[in-house]
């Protein structure tokens, strides 16, 4: 083989290697996303820059549903995501809201656990749960999860129990 053909083969192999590396780096959606230099990946930036509702310059709603609200507070490089559970059954709706959160931001559970996310429950829904800032149920963190806290019966459940006792 002449040197000309050898150089041609090496050049083709390098081009092929660059194409394969580019595919894995830029086009695969299942590649685990990591934070680099405190900046969010493009999928999160797209959600932040295109909110459903802008409350203020630094606070937006990403998903508005009668049962839950997914919001973000902060700048486009670092902030806090909030998932507010506005309906019963709190446990089931929290799991659904977490899934919608992942889908909206186009991220996986591992990356979501790297973000600062607070799940909260207003006192009108459950006064016992309103005392906590919960973490995502699938993250192995030090925050309590909604299922970890004992709950008081809802107001309508207490009323039913009182009627049974009186009769």
Amino acid 103: pLDDT: 97
List the structure tokens of 19: 């194409």
Tell me the pLDDT tens digit for each residue of 18-76: 775 655 555 444 434 444 455 899 999 999 999 999 999 999 999 999 999 999 999 88
CA distance 80 to 144: 17
Tell me the pLDDT tens digit for each residue of 3-19: 777 777 777 767 665 77
More confident of the two residues 131 and 8: 131
Amino acid 159: pLDDT: 41
User: E strands along the chain, which residues?
Assistant: 53-56, 59-64, 68-74, 79-85, 117-120
- Measure CA 165 to chain center: 44
Residue with tokens 């889908």: 103
User: E strands along 57-139, which residues?
Assistant: 59-64, 68-74, 79-85, 117-120
CB 116 within 8 A of CB 80: yes
Tell me the pLDDT tens digit for each residue of 132-146: 899 999 998 767 778
């Amino acid at each position: 083989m002449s040197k000309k053909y050898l150089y041609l083969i090496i050049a083709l192999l390098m081009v092929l290697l660059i194409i394969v590396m580019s595919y894995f780096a830029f086009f695969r959606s299942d590649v685990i996303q990591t934070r680099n230099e405190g900046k969010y990946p493009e999928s999160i930036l797209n959600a932040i820059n295109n909110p459903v509702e802008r409350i203020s310059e630094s606070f937006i709603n990403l998903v508005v549903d009668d049962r839950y609200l997914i919001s973000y507070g902060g700048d486009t490089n670092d902030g806090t995501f909030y998932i507010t559970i506005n309906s019963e059954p709190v446990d089931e709706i929290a799991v659904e809201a977490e899934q919608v959160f992942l889908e909206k931001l186009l991220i996986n559970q591992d990356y979501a656990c790297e973000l600062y996310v607070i799940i909260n429950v207003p006192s009108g829904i459950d006064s016992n749960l309103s005392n906590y800032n919960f973490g995502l149920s699938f993250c192995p963190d030090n925050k309590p999860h909604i299922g970890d806290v004992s709950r008081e019966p809802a107001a309508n459940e207490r009323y039913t129990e009182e009627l049974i006792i009186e009769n």
